[in-house]
Amino acid sequence: MRQVRVGLAQINVTVGDLDGNTQKIIDYLHRARNEGVDIVSFPELAVTGYPPQDLLLKPQFLKDNLACLQEIVKETQHIAAVVGFVDREDDIYNAAAIIHNGKLLGVYHKVYLPNYGVFDENRYFQSGIRNQIFQINDCVLGMNICEDIWYPGGPTTLQALSGAELIINISASPYYVGKPLYREHMISVRAADNVVVVAYNNLVGGQDRLIFDGYSLVVNQAGQVLARGKLFEEDFIVTDINLDDVVRTKLNDSRHRKEVLNLKLSGGPTLPKSVSISPPERITRPVEKKSPPQVNPFLPKVWTFAYNPYKEVYEALALGVRDYVRKNGFSQAVIGLSGGIDSALTAVIAVDAIGGENVLGVSMPGRYSSQASLDDAEQLARNLGIDYKVIPIQTAFDAYLETLAEAFKGTPQGVAEENIQARIRGNILMALSNKFGYLVLTTGNKSELSVGYATLYGDMAGGLAVISDVPKTMVYALAEYRNSVAGYDLIPKSTLMKPPSAELRENQRDMDTLPDYAILDGILHAYVEEDKSLEEIVALGYDRDMVMDIVRRVDGNEYKRQQAPPGLKVTSKAFGPDRRFPITNKYRG
């Protein structure tokens, strides 16, 4: 029986940390060899981290990355490895090296460079035109990179038609809600369509706004999932693949024959002919004794489970916070606790991410803060066991009013006075950050940020916007999810029940200014994430004046969003590099 043992190193690397990433790759190489792995793979651009952005425009960075690859090559005695790095030949390429026994056997260049959504790969790389396949012992393998496998007729198909039985795809595929499942469906169909085993090795970890969810996959030639990597954690996935199964399936499923003939007749892309043969020295690994599988082989293998999108988003956010804090050299975070749902959820996520001992909650009561809110903030801090300070803003607010008395003479109180209070709070948190080294986590949600219901330099002041891509309705769902895991009202029930308010003027409530959040989020989803027109949104059944008002607010607040701290992406379209809008923009529609 021809069998190959594949190991997928689903690792968490850091952008720019060439030495640290290289050491981690080498550690996993050794681990893989110890576990009898024949071929070990690493994520896309594992050497540099992903996305390296304009570091790629520094010649020295490219050189240093190549030197790291040489270090890795030396460590591949008795094992084969597929490693993501930046290749530099006539131009630079997003590349995968295949290395075996201390020798670089070949390099693949990513063909399809994504340049939409959060991606900018045409800014940096030339597209590859090579399409080699490689033989390692008995195994003929093709490799490709991330986007390549999302094209149904792309490199995976050409490599499979050329004889590859195993495709290793190395990826850095960022998360949004539901993406892991969708990706699994796609990989499963791709494997079955091409009658090839797919080992899909994704990156894991947070990088600024992006969260890479891991969830690497090994899928057999029939589209059955043989193994899954953990979500949101480092993992090492070792799988034995029976290559004769691929042959058997191909003899029974002859679609590939027609495809090969079509290609030959059409004069289309040439099938790769040059198959590199690895040195004669075979990789040897311990033989295991196995007991026969216990499942009924006559039933289809179907994976059923209860999917909980809120659990998924929650864990994504915790990873995003943990990695942003850790990779930027912080250990502690400070959060303004208003007693409201947004800051409560942010605090709970932060505690789960970096530990309650590293989180400080600060209540900053002002003239319009309700006692109930202060009680809720304190109760939350007690539930979380975090340090908690009360720093009132009234003295500073009075000082501003006195300072501005002459300039403001004869004007009615309004937004200016409201914002001053929010900005005092921002300044206090930043002062604590400057003095003691806390990272300030902001607490605004996506619904607020969409319509500009937030104060620039006030509640928007901080290093990371934890839930700024979470719509308000999902904020509630995440809070309820987390309370259900805790088994009690970790986030106080009163926080969940009371009507949302910024408490910046007497009896203020969000609903005085904004529609009900269920309505608002429906309009925002249609406008921001789906790019629907005003007419199309009205046709969904929303009130025309309301839609016009919301659309106008979204467009008019782009200037605030462009000064917002980076926010963790968990939806299909987050503000920031994922949605690039002009500030100066007279289009209304």
Catalytic residue positions, numbered: 44, 110, 146
Site for a second copy in 84-113 (CB under 8 A): none
Question: What are the residues whose beta carbons fall under 8 Å from the beta carbon of 26, sequence distance 6 or more?
Answer: 71, 72, 75
Phi-psi region of 355 (alpha: psi -120 to 50; beta: other; left: phi over 0): left
Contact 146, 174 (CB under 8 A): no
Candidate list 265, 299, 407, 497; residue touching a second copy; CB under 8 A? 407
SS3 320: helix
Site for a second copy in 309-338 (CB under 8 A): 323-324, 327-328
Candidate list 115, 276, 331, 513; residue touching a second copy; CB under 8 A? 115
419 touches a second copy by CB under 8 A? yes
Q: Report residue 466: phi and psi, to 5°.
A: -65, -45
Candidate list 260, 404, 477, 519; residue touching a second copy; CB under 8 A? 404
For the CB of residue 565, give the shortest distance to a second copy in the complex, in Å. Answer: 6
Site for a second copy in 23-52 (CB under 8 A): 51-52
Contact 226, 238 (CB under 8 A): no
Contact 486, 493 (CB under 8 A): no
For the CB of residue 370, give the shortest distance to a second copy in the complex, in Å. Answer: 20
431 touches a second copy by CB under 8 A? yes
Candidate list 416, 485, 518, 539; residue touching a second copy; CB under 8 A? 416
Site for a second copy in 519-548 (CB under 8 A): 531, 533-536
589 touches a second copy by CB under 8 A? yes
For the CB of residue 336, give the shortest distance to a second copy in the complex, in Å. Answer: 13
What is the DSSP track for 189-218? Answer: HHHHHHT-EEEEE--EEEETTEEEEB--EE
Eight-state DSSP code of residue 231: B
Q: Distance between CA 231 and CA 314 in Å, rounded?
A: 12
408 touches a second copy by CB under 8 A? yes
Question: What are the residues whose beta carbons fall under 8 Å from the beta carbon of 317, sequence distance 6 or more?
Answer: 211, 349, 353, 466, 467, 470, 478, 568, 570
Site for a second copy in 327-386 (CB under 8 A): 327-328
For the CB of residue 152, give the shortest distance to a second copy in the complex, in Å. Answer: 18
Question: What are the residues whose beta carbons fall under 8 Å from the beta carbon of 401, sequence distance 6 or more?
Answer: 408, 417, 420
Candidate list 261, 275, 399, 485; residue touching a second copy; CB under 8 A? 399
CA 470 to chain centre: 14
Candidate list 88, 238, 566, 572; residue touching a second copy; CB under 8 A? 566
Q: With CB under 8 A as the contact rule, which of the stretches 294-302, 309-317, 468-476, 556-564 interacts with a second copy?
A: 556-564
Q: Distance between CA 195 and CA 162 in Å, rounded?
A: 12
Candidate list 84, 229, 426, 522; residue touching a second copy; CB under 8 A? 426
457 touches a second copy by CB under 8 A? yes
Q: Distance between CA 343 and CA 571 in Å, rounded?
A: 20
Candidate list 402, 487, 507, 545; residue touching a second copy; CB under 8 A? 402
392 touches a second copy by CB under 8 A? yes
Residue with smaller CB distance to a second copy, 61 or 310: 61
506 touches a second copy by CB under 8 A? no
